[in-house]
């Protein structure tokens, strides 16, 4: 799928709604934020950078970076949030820097090979670093991106932006294969309770925390 100006524009609207309005999304945001390790933080798949800058504002002791494949989104992010360094996912900086936290929120489901991507992200961690991933919990693949399905249909492309449905077992195995210990996880739900350790019918997303040098494996 082509991630250009239209995707960046809708991403801006969507991230604003998630950060300001939707209670389940606010719960996801706060759950993630409480598990970010101070230091160098990479938001991989940052889109227009709103959440990246939110982390910087809430955790000023962090050095925040954002990476994305969408050059339009990166251009917007750099103009709006000059205190964050934004870059392409192919930037050499990502191969030389080590991060205390790497976040990939609602990103892996878009990729052809999420397991390979997760291994690459794990390699960017400093000793003791954390990889936080969030993936949608859809019943039908792409149902949470219905607006994009309609836009693509209008373009006669009929392309689903979500390539995978990733369940808990899939994510836990990918973390283990990348050499990370599973330290924590939660389902985020559309309805109260907004966070739960068990899978509920009202599930919205699943968030997991892997750690490079952790000893406790769930």
Residue 55 contacts residue 41 (beta carbons within 8 Å): yes
pLDDT in tens, 103-151: 999 999 999 999 999 999 999 999 999 999 999 998 677 666 655 545 5
pLDDT in tens, 62-89: 999 999 999 999 999 999 999 999 999 9
Cα radius of gyration (the chain): 16
pTM: 0.85
Distance CA 90, CA 59 (A): 26
Q: How confident is the model at residue 93 (pLDDT cuts 50, 70, 90)?
A: very high
Chain centre to alpha carbon of residue 204: 14
Structure confidence at residue 217 (pLDDT): 42
Distance CA 169, CA 175 (A): 10
Distance CA 12, CA 178 (A): 31
Q: How confident is the model at residue 218 (pLDDT cuts 50, 70, 90)?
A: very low
Residue 106 contacts residue 82 (beta carbons within 8 Å): no
Nearest CA-CA partner of 178 in 107, 130, 106: 130
How many CB atoms neighbour CB 39 within 10 A? Answer: 17
Which helix (DSSP H) or strand (DSSP E) does residue 206 occupy?
strand 203-211
Question: Percent of the chain, pLDDT > 70?
Answer: 80
- In terms of Cβ atoms closer than 10 Å to its own Cβ (0-12, 13-18, 19+), residue 158 is exposed
Distance CA 112, CA 218 (A): 27
pLDDT in tens, 169-201: 999 999 999 999 999 999 999 999 999 999 999
Residue 47 pLDDT exceeds 90 = yes
Residue 10 pLDDT exceeds 50 = yes
Structure confidence at residue 21 (pLDDT): 75
String of DSSP letters for 24-49: HHHHHHHHHHTTPPSSEEEEET-TTS
Give me the helix-helix angle, 146-154 and 5-20, nearest 10°: 160
Residue 51 pLDDT exceeds 70 = yes
Reduce the DSSP state of residue 169 to 3 states and report it.
helix
Residue 15 pLDDT exceeds 80 = no
Structure confidence at residue 143 (pLDDT): 63
CA atoms within 13 A on the CB side of 70: 27
Structure confidence at residue 213 (pLDDT): 76
Distance CA 105, CA 215 (A): 24
Domains of the chain: 5-211 (3.40.50.150)
């Amino acid at each position: 799928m082509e991630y250009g100006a239209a995707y960046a524009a809708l991403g801006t609207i969507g991230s604003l709604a998630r950060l300001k309005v939707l209670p389940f999304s606010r719960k996801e945001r706060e759950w993630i934020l409480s598990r970010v390790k101070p230091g160098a933080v990479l938001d991989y798949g940052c889109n227009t950078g709103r959440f990246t800058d939110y982390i910087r504002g809430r955790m000023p002791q962090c050095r925040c970076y954002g990476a994305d494949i969408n050059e339009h989104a990166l251009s917007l992010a750099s103009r709006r949030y000059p205190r964050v360094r934004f870059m392409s996912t192919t930037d050499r900086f990502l191969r030389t820097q080590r991060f205390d936290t790497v976040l990939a929120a609602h990103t892996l489901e878009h990729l052809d090979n999420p397991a390979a991507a997760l291994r690459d992200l794990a390699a960017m961690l400093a000793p003791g670093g954390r990889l936080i991933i969030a993936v949608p919990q859809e019943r039908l693949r792409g149902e949470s991106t219905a607006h994009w399905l309609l836009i693509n249909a209008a373009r006669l492309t009929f392309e689903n932006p979500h390539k995978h449905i990733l369940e808990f077992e899939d994510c836990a195995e990918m973390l283990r294969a990348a050499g990370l210990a599973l330290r924590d996880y939660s389902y985020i739900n559309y309805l109260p309770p907004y966070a739960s350790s068990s899978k509920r019918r009202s599930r919205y997303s699943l968030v997991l925390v892997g750690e490079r040098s952790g000893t406790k494996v769930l």
